[in-house]
Structure 1
Amino acid sequence: MSDLTDNSTWREDADRDLTFNAGDRLELFVRGEGAYLWDADGKRYLDFLAGIAVNSLGHAHPVFVEAVSRQAATLAHVSNYFATPPQLELAARLKRLAGTGPGGRVYYGNSGAEANEAAFKLARLHGGPERPRILSLLDSFHGRTMGTLALTGKPWMQAPFGPMIPGVEHLESTIEALEAAIDDRVAALFLEPVKGEAGVIDLPAGFLQAARELTARHGALLIVDEIQTGAGRTGEWFAFQRAGIVPDAITVAKGIGGGFPIGALITFGTVGELFYPGSHGSTFGGNPLATAVASAVLAEIERAGLVENAAERGIQVRDRIAALGSPLVTGIRGEGLLIGVGLAHPVAKAVVAAAHQHGLVINAPNDDTIRLAPPLTIGDVEVDEFADLFGRALATVQDALVLEGNRS
């Protein structure tokens, strides 16, 4: 067995021992602190991906470390035949932050996909045989499990695993398409307020309000996937709140745990009462360790004003990108600290690779978009460093494009 901290052999270990579903791993990271990561050779990287919008407080935040240590030494797991104080505390906190009112309820899972699976079953319970239709949006992403893959509006992801679970229809993200599709046979509409995996694509103006009005008129549930946009990421606790609507349910994960695996379905009104004993469940969902950590993370986001920081720093980051004046950048999308940078050429992977060489971690959800989702804790120092490193990465790729053009 090789030394797992040896940067010269880890790729061999990964190629031999891991499945290829994630492709080639880009680096072997061994330590993190704040907005920074270190590889096995001691090189430091500025992390502007945060585990894909997961590490809300950055790496090794004292609140996160203390919560894990304290709860692990107290009670980690007892099964859902019993309740625990952290489970109840987090449910009350999530209901308050989401604004569910007294009737809301919380179901816990271990991931965003599990939260959306629970929401899928909630839609079926609501619809019954009289409402077999479930609507979702084209190019949406709701997960890779068989149920959530059916909701995901990406045919290329579905193709190897068909046939999909029946009843799901995918619409263009327009109010006109929604008006044409919805009727009294629809059980639910699933949507992301910002399509993260599509390249951080905002919904059209007024779409959420129209979705709420149309689903209410036809007796369908409006289920908002806040897995990537929740926990303050967009400068609101949840992105739906900017639209001034009240959905029937939202799904959350990623940032609420700050790096600890947890997901949840949060219902509004009496919708959560559709679940009955045995209708759904999870062995580990809502365990005291995960719920204690998530509660501590959300409390720190609230105490430190990190929702407001996300809004302010998001504007700052977008302004700094625009000020670079790179001919590669065609537009900047998103809200708060969920940002998509449109590129003039399909070179996103090359920009990611160049950024990596310069010590910056970013992501390419598709060929012509860069996704940024840094910790909510970033300040002036990290924004300045990001602008420098991202500018270098863009220049590296632009120079390569010019050189290639001259050769041709």
Structure 2
Amino acid sequence: MLKRILTVTIFLVAILAFGCPLFYPVNYANTVVRAESGPDLTVQMITSSPETPTFGDDVTFTATISNQGTAASGQCYVAYYIDDEYIDDEYVPPIDAGSSTEFTFIWAAEAGIHDITVVVDYKEQVNESDEGNNEKTYTLSTLGADLIIDSITWSPSDPNVGSTVIFNVTIRNRGAVVANSNRVDFYIDGISRGYKDVERIDPGGTLTKTFSWFAKAGEHDIKAIVDKNNSVPETDEDNNEMTVLFSALLPDLIIDDISWSPTEPSLSDNVSFTVTVTNQGSGVSGNSTINFYVDDTYLDTERTSKLEAGASENVTFSWIVVVGTHDIKATVTPHAVVTESDETNNEKIVTFSPSLADLIVQNITWSG
């Protein structure tokens, strides 16, 4: 008996000294039998109820935790995350090898698409054969409204400076549920021009609100924002505005011609000058002012009526002819009373000379 004990002791010492394993795989009819590998906890499945919640619904998540190892697990904890934010954890009792246990938690649904992550043994209390398979992520889309500015149009489509423009702002709900009442804000060049209340809009429905403005010269940013204060829960809160570029048609007034009558006046004649003003722009001009000068000395002023694009109008001035060559100048809107597409072509100068007598000694005779 003593000899047997001594033999076993020497055998165990030899194993420990040379690092030999206690058990080897044994192949029985091509079946490999190994020593126990330990527990292996995994999150097998995550489900939600309801599967497609709407904003504000209480969603119940069920996580199935399995032990796919060969030994029972010890106690641990499971943690819940939504969009990588910790929500809660829960105690997990020991799970036998090959068994599963379900755990649930409840979340009030928020708008948008969310990642729900469950991590078992997140405190790493259980020594597992595989530590890299302890979590699972489930993607959930919450049904909700989705308000957008569908279009911004105006009437007339080619407005003139100073005309009243009606802007039509169309709002669309491209979400899956009704969008409750809210409002749409309207801006021109970053300055608020007021807002309009927006009634409920069904999924896929549209609603149009109007704003008016007196068109000004130049280019302008027209912007509309729906649900600016986020009173409506939406699946996408970043697509609520639109900006478009607006410009009014502008006139371009020129002095097209300066003529006079009589065409060959003499000294002291009262000459009538005709100034032709033409609008060569694309928009209607307002009333404009024509100033008349002789040798840069102001003489008189006349006014024209509104001119359509391409239209002309004549105004007249009178002047008593004096000796010499003179510069006759006419200017239109010298103080920018009318905003134009070109402000550098508003004057014209012509040279004027009266007809003068030319006395000569034609003949000399005598008698005697």
Q: TM-score, normalising length from structure 1?
A: 0.16
Name the structure where strand makes up a greater proportion of residues: 2
Greater Rg by CA: 2
Name the structure where helix makes up a greater proportion of residues: 1
